[in-house]
Structure 1
Amino acid sequence: MTVFAPADRTVMDLGMNNGDDTAYYLAKGFEVVALEANPALAAAGRTRFAEEIAAGRLRLEEAAIWSSAGTVTFHVNEANDHWSSIEPSWAGREDTPTRAVEMPALTLEMLFARHGVPHYLKIDVEGVDAIVLDQLRDLPSKPAFVSVEDCRFGFHYIATLAEAGYVSFALVDQSQVPAMRDPDLAYVFPKGASGPWGDALLGPWLDRAAFEALYETTVRDRKGNRIAPRTHWFDVHARRA
C-alpha cells in the first residue's frame, strides 16, 4: 500500500547545482535536504548557505544518487556544470570537456531513511532521473509532490509516476520560469531555476490521459519526435491527488 508523507516542512532537492532552487525553498520557510555530486558546487553551497546549515534548516549531502550504495565515478562537465552526470555520454555531450571524480553514492531509500520522506521531491540529476523514479515507485512511503526534468524518456517518466500512485500532473516550461511569480512571495526566479511547485504552481493539473495528450502535442510525440523548440525545456510535476 502506498503511503504519502504528511504535509511537513521538508523539501528534498536532488541536484542542487548552484543552489537557486534551494534558496527558493528556504525562502518559502521549508527545511531543505540538498544533494550535490559536484564537489565545487557543494563547497559553494556550504558557503552560500552557511547560516541555514548552522541553523539546521539545510542539510547538504555531497554525494551522487545511484541504484546502489558505495562509490561511483561522476563526470564533471568543465564547460557547463548543468550537464555533469554519472553517465559519461550525458556529461560530455557536444564534445565538451569533462573531469572524472570518485564520489559517495546513495540510494533514494537511504536518503529517506536518513532525513525522512519530504513533502516535495525535486529530481534533476542529469541522466539518472529514471533510476530515481524507479526507486521512488518501489518505496512504500512517498512525497506528496514530485517533479522531474523532462527528457526523451518523458512518457516512461509519466508511466512510472502513475505506477507510484500519483494521479495529477502538470507541465512547466522552464524557459518561462523567470516570468513566473509565487503568489505568496515577492520572489523573482533566476534563469535556470526550477520555479514554483505544489500549491504555488498555477497548473493546470491534469489526470494522466489529459496530461499525456498535452505532452504529445507540446513536447514530443509518442514516436519520440520533438515538437517543442530547442529553446524550451520542461519539468513534469506530479501530485497524489
Structure 2
Amino acid sequence: MTTQVIYDLGANNGGDIPYYLLKGDLVVAVEANPALCDLIQAKFKVEIEQGRLVVENCVVKAEGESGEVDFYIHNVHHVLSQLPRPDADVIDGYEQVSLPSKTIADIIGQYGPPHYIKIDIEHYDAQILRALFAADIRPPYISSESHSIEIFALLVAQGGYDAFKLVDGRTVAEVYANHTITSHQGEKIAISFPGHAAGPFGEDVEGPWMSGSDFVQVLAIEGLGWKDIHATHRHQAATKPASLLKHLVGYVDRKSKAKSREMIKRFGKALPWGRRSAA
C-alpha cells in the first residue's frame, strides 16, 4: 500500500499538523525557524517517535546545493520571516541568521511522492512551485498562498491544474471551527484550526471546485494577499466544478458567518440575530 505523504512547507508553529496527521500516513513539516521547530518537536513528541511526523529544520530552496544560507527572522512576527533579503526600509526589523538548507526536490526525494503540498513560504512561494513543476512533481492536491496572480498562472500553465478553491486565511479559525473532515481512514471527524493556520485542503475545504475561468473571476472580486489557492485535477475532484454564481453565494455566506462568529466572540454574548447568522 502506498504511503500517503503530506508536506507542510512553512509549518510555522505546527497549527495545521493535528489535521494533517488525520489525513496522511506521514507528515513532513519543514520550518526554517529553530525556535518554532523546537515548539513542534515538544508538542508532537509522541507522533515523531511513532514515525508519523518528521520535522525538517531547514530553509527550503527551489534549487542549488544544500548548505548554509542567510535567512531573515522577523523580530516581532515570526510568520514574516523569509529567505529573500528584506527591502532596505524594513530590514532593521529582522535578524539575519545562517541556517541549513535543502532543495524541495531533495526533501521529496527523501520522503516520497506527495499526496498534498502546502506552500506558505514568505515571498518564495512562486519559486517553489516552479521547482516542483520543473521536477515533474504535481501532487493530487496542492495549495499556495497567493500574494501575486503568478501563483494561479503557474498552477494552470505549468502545473496543469484545472479545478480550484479559495481559502481566506483571515477567517480560517472562524469558518472552520468544529469543521467536519474525512480522515485518511474514512472517518468523519470534527476539527478546529487556530489562528494563522492554513486550514483544510481538498474535499475538506467548503464549497465546490471551480473551473479556471470562473476562479479567476473570483480572484478579481476577492483580491489576492492572505489567501490560499487550492488546486486539483477535475478527474480527481469529488464534485464537478460549479457555476460562478453558486460559488460566490456560498463563499459570501461563509464569510458572513465568520464575521458573525467573530462579533459574538468579541462581545462575549450571542444576540438573537447573531445566533442565526452564525448557525
Structure with greater contact order relative to length (CA < 8 Å, sep ≥ 6): 1
Change (3 A) 1:41 1:143: same
Is 2:203 the partner of 1:196?
no
1:86 alignment counterpart:
83
Structure label with greater radius of gyration: 2
8 Å Cα contact 1:170-1:238 kept in structure 2:
yes
Which residue pairs with 2:219 in the alignment? 215
User: Partners of 1:130 and 1:65 in 2: how far apart?
Assistant: 13
Residue in 1 aligned with 2:259? none
Residue 200 to residue 159, structure 1, CA distance change in 2 (3 Å): same
Unpaired runs of 5+ in structure 1? Answer: 1-5, 221-231
Aligned to 1:157: 151
The TM-score normalised by the length of structure 1 is: 0.85
Choose the corresponding residue for 2:10, options 4, 12, 15. 15
Superposition map of 1:159-198 within 5 A: 159-162=153-156, 163-179=158-174, 180=176, 181-183=179-181, 184-198=188-202
SS in 1 for 2:83: coil
Q: CA deviation at 1:93?
A: 7.5
Q: Distance in 2 between matches of 1:60 and 1:182?
A: 27
Q: Which is helix-richer, 1 or 2?
A: 2
1:99 alignment partner in structure 2: 95
Percentage of matched positions with identical amino acids: 33
Which residues of structure 2 form unaligned runs of 5+? 182-187, 235-279
Matches of 1:194 and 1:169 in 2, distance apart? Answer: 16
- How many residue pairs get aligned? The number is 222
**Kindly tell me: are residues 77 and 93 of structure 1, through their superposed partners in 2, closer, same or farther at Cα, counting changes over 3 Å?**
farther
Aligned-residue RMSD, C-alpha: 2.0
Residue 128 of structure 1, CA deviation: 1.0
Per-residue displacement from partner, 1:55-88 (whole Å, max 9, x unpaired)? 0000111101113233211111120000000123
Conserved? CA contact 1:169–1:237, under 8 Å: yes
Query: Displacement, 1:140?
Result: 2.1
Shift, 1:202, TM fit: 2.0
Cα 1:61/1:174, change in 2 over 3 Å: same
Using the size of structure 2 for normalisation, the TM-score is 0.74
Q: Which residue of 31, 42, 49 maps to 1:47?
A: 42
